[in-house]
Amino acid sequence: MSKFKIRHITKYTYEVPVRDSANQIMLYPIQDEFQEVLQSQIVITGDPQVEMHLDYFGNQVGTFTHASPHQELTIDVRLVVETKPINFSSNTKKVEEQWAELRQLRYQADLIDFLRQENFSLLPEVITVVESTQTSQQSPLNAAIQLCDFVFKKFTYKKGITTVESTLDEVWKLKSGVCQDFAHILLVMLRLIDIPARYVSGYICPNKSGMRGEGATHAWVEAFIPFFGWIGIDPTNNCIVNDSHVRLAVGKNFSDCSPVKGTYRGTSNHTLEVAVSVSYEDGSVVDTTSEVLEPEPITSFSKNSYRRHQEMQMQQ
């Protein structure tokens, strides 16, 4: 059992005052038998009322608006989260039975979205690689671990070479990127062998082990393994996920789990800064990351952006 203190600050600074800001935040960690949120505090510029709802994937989502003119928007989140170790029970089912069970799962409504493959021009290359691994001769869990090992060894962890807008084609060509890119490639590979796989956003809080992505927002994959259920696999660190990871949200890919996104009315010239710190029960800080990100693409709407946001919510 581990307890972590997390602070996550998102700050938008605009060139001139903007208004009618409508935002969605996914900064509420998942609560289940393996993870409990002991404390949660969110402070937002203007102290707006945050409306809560559950999305299609069961994530807690907050929405708020800031209608009055403002030149800065800060979302400051403080969390205390307790995670529990996962004990994997032994699976005595034969390999053939496990794959047969997977073939049946493709018709299960709640897993269909996590089997749907995203097409891109270099997908045939990925298929060739996956077919050469002979994963069908192993159990689904071992096959997933093998593909995780491939991504870890064949891709270079390098910050700044990709963005949230980078395509699968670009990531596969570069064979480089960060945790988000590693996760997206592993999602493709797992779905190619009929293993339902979902994207996970969150934090990694290792005990000073020097793992990639520690003390920052992180991303990994959960694979649905017959007779086990959802198992976290982290291709950035080549490990099975246990109590060192804190889960924020799950979805088909990053776009379903983006921690903060929204629209506003005003200039497109702005900067986005994100800072994350993680500390342990004794107060020792693992790491603090602060990054100035490229401005998000802004779409001009003829309608008031808040009204547009409300219409999008009703259409979902």
Find the CATH number of the domain harbouring 57.
2.60.40.2250
Q: Does 160 score more than 50 pLDDT?
A: yes
| Tens of pLDDT, residues 8-57 | 999 999 999 999 999 999 999 999 999 999 999 999 999 999 999 999 99
Q: Are residues 187 and 308 in the same domain?
A: no
Q: Are residues 283 and 171 in the same domain?
A: no
| Tens of pLDDT, residues 213-238 | 655 689 999 999 988 899 999 999 99
Domain range holding 182? 95-241
Residue 76 domain-assigned? Answer: yes
Residue 247 domain-assigned? Answer: no
231 φ/ψ angles, rounded to the nearest 5 degrees: -125, 125
Residue 248 domain-assigned? Answer: no
| Tens of pLDDT, residues 238-258 | 999 988 899 999 999 999 999
Last residue of a domain, one of 180, 207, 241: 241
Give the pLDDT score at 313.
36
Q: Does 292 score more than 90 pLDDT?
A: no
Give the pLDDT score at 206.
61
What is the pTM (predicted TM-score) of this model? 0.86
Average pLDDT taken over every residue of the chain: 86
Work out how many domains the chain is built from and give that number.
2
Q: Are residues 127 and 233 in the same domain?
A: yes
| Tens of pLDDT, residues 82-104 | 999 888 776 778 899 999 999 98
Give the pLDDT score at 30.
96
Last residue of a domain, one of 213, 241, 269: 241
